[in-house]
Amino acid sequence: MDELFRLALLEDIGSGDATTRSVIPPGLKGSAVVFGREPFVLSGSKPLRRIFELLDPEIRTECPFPDGEQIAPNVAAFRIEGRVRTILTGERTALNFAQRLCGIATLTRKMSDAITGTGCKLLDTRKTTPLWRSLEKEAVRHGGGRNHRFGLADGILIKDNHIAAAGGITEAVRRAREGAPHTLRIEIEVENMDQLDEAISAGPDIVLLDNFTLDMLRAAVAIGKGRVVLEASGGVSLETVRAIAETGVDFVSCGALTHSARAIDLTMEFSV
């Protein structure tokens, strides 16, 4: 992560912060607080702290709340103390990380709360910002969601293009059983009820029901519940997730948690 943070700082600072170096004396000390203009779930405290530390090891960054805490508007979530030049130079990069990760955690919390009591569990996907995956998946956990596989090595997910290239569902599952390590679970994506019947017969561990209607999901649960783990995906939003979960599926996965979460409006106020 340090390499990612260094590259982000280099992108913003380049050869130097011309404004701060022109306006602020080198030895001036001060402090600043970061707060949200709206309610949010905290995430990204470690990246924010580390970004300032990479600029100046003597900087002090305090956060009175744990990641995953619900924070009210205008409540100081972070306090930064040290050289004013450091605080001002690192401000935008640090806030960019924090506001993005808080946005993911906040959306995840809303969706997780929406399916409370259904027995269904909320999953993320691999639809993440390149090189931010570990941070964004951690933010999902801070929001109360669960992580799907981190990368391609972590599990077998046979999708439509794999099925087409392998010659069908049954053959794809057979090859996976023969060629994969026994520690990896096998999941296969299906798009209709005929494919569901074939998939269950082929013997995967999990069936991903892709873009099924609510009626189709209920029918799939009636057929597959107890025989195979069922995951619903496609068309999942804050408005639809409760109805999807109430069909009886075991999991609902949502790419929007990471690819469409709105950044939280965080701001820094400074005092010398």
Give the separation between CA 113 and CA 133, rounded to whole angstroms. 23
pLDDT digits (tens, 9 = 90+) for 168-213: 999 999 999 999 898 899 999 999 999 999 999 999 999 999 999 9
Domain range 113-259, CATH architecture: Alpha-Beta Barrel (3.20)
Burial class (CB in 10 A: 0-12, 13-18, 19+), 95: buried
Q: Which of 159, 225, 227, 262 is catalytic?
A: 159
**Which pLDDT score is estimated for 271?**
75
Q: Which of 92, 175, 185, 218 is catalytic?
A: 92
Q: Is 160 a catalytic residue?
A: no
The DSSP code for 217 is H
Q: Is 46 a catalytic residue?
A: no
The DSSP code for 262 is P
Q: Is 127 a catalytic residue?
A: yes
CATH topology of domain 2-109+262-271: Aldehyde Oxidoreductase; domain 3 (3.90.1170)
User: What residues does each domain of the chain span?
Assistant: 2-109+262-271, 113-259
Q: Which of these, 149, 143, 156, 155, lies nearest to 128 by C-alpha position?
A: 149
pLDDT digits (tens, 9 = 90+) for 55-99: 999 999 999 999 999 999 999 999 999 999 999 999 999 999 999
Q: Is 11 a catalytic residue?
A: no
Q: Which of 17, 124, 138, 189 is catalytic?
A: 189
Q: Which of 50, 127, 133, 242 is catalytic?
A: 127
Q: Is 113 a catalytic residue?
A: no
> The whole model's pTM is what?
0.95
